[in-house]
Structure 1
Amino acid sequence: MTFTKILVAFDESDLALKSLEQAIDLAKGKPEIEIYVVHSVTMPANYAVSAHLIAQIKDSIHVYGKEILAKAEEKLAVLPNKTEVFLREGSSIHTILEEAKRHDCDLIVMGSRGLSGIKEFLGSVSHYVVQNSPVPVLLVK
């Protein structure tokens, strides 16, 4: 099966790095393949703290998210292919599926577990994506 648009879920975990490398390997020598990398961040709820503090926390989360995506961009630089990275707010589960749909991706590549540290066969995010994705999902272990 040939894929033309690959979405990589990226959270800087070891398995996310392996997933990105897998997507790069799939695209090598095939300049028609596009790779999209998404990193999602969850914003804190507005607890009983000042709006200024919440704004600082959100800014900090965005800065860190951009640093994570810069690492992905470094790895993608080896390809002549079209590549894009995205920082999105929201749950990883929904962000991954929404971005795959938005970019008309025909493959999602992601780690079987992310940064949560849960030692299950499949993490909750990967399990949900596998069960609900309309396109094939390649899980990397």
Structure 2
Amino acid sequence: MFKKILVPVDGSEGSWRALDTAVELGKKFGGELHVINVIQPYNNAALLAVPLDHATVSQGNSELEKIGDKVLEMAQERLSTYEGETKFSLEVGHPSERIIAMAKKTGADAIVIGSRGLSGIAEFFLGSVSSKVAQYANVPVLIVK
């Protein structure tokens, strides 16, 4: 039933609970887990109000990539005893858009995502990533509280 499960993680407690839930589903159905971390680069309209040079923006993006890689390393450690296949990738872009695109690209049968992540105030203005994923994904989405 769920042979390929996409699990976005951002290092928040909610994303680790989602990963744990995905592991249980993966064990039950013999599924492959594809774990992704999505970083949103510094290119927001809010930054237009503050003059930043290219080097500053690039340095900020580099730091975000390092954090994303660390989150994926933590996910690998958590999955060290998982007997099914696991894949890990770092994506760059808007989180909900990249999650949906990766679900299509990987042929995921389901997405397991935490109900709240680290997006903070952006959720208040833009709507949560999990609700956007649930609304626009073409596969079942399990939102873990």
Q: Same fold (TM over 0.5)?
A: yes
The count of residues paired between Structure 1 and Structure 2 equals: 137
For each residue in 1:58-108, what CA deviation from the matched residue of structure 2 results, as whole angstroms up to 9, or x when unmatched?
211111110011111111111121111111110011011001000000010
Tell me the equivalent position of 2:6.
Answer: 7
User: What is the rounded CA distance, in whole Å, between the counterparts of 1:41 and 1:116 in structure 2?
Assistant: 11
Q: Which moves more between the two structures, 37-46 or 57-66?
A: 37-46
Q: Supply the RMSD in Å over aligned alpha carbons.
A: 2.0
Tell me the equivalent position of 1:90.
Answer: 93
Alignment gaps of 5+ in structure 1: none
For 2:75, which of 54, 72, 77 is the aligned residue? 72
**How much does 1:29 deviate?**
6.0
Counterpart AA for 1:55 = S
Counterpart AA for 1:110 = I
**Would you say 1:40 and 2:38 are equivalent positions?**
yes
Question: Normalized per residue, which structure has more helix?
Answer: 2
Name the TM-score, length of structure 1 as normaliser. Answer: 0.88
Tell me the equivalent position of 1:23.
Answer: 22
Alignment gaps of 5+ in structure 2: none
**Would you say 1:136 and 2:140 are equivalent positions?**
yes
Percent identity for Structure 1 against Structure 2: 35
For 2:59, which of 35, 51, 56 is the aligned residue? 56
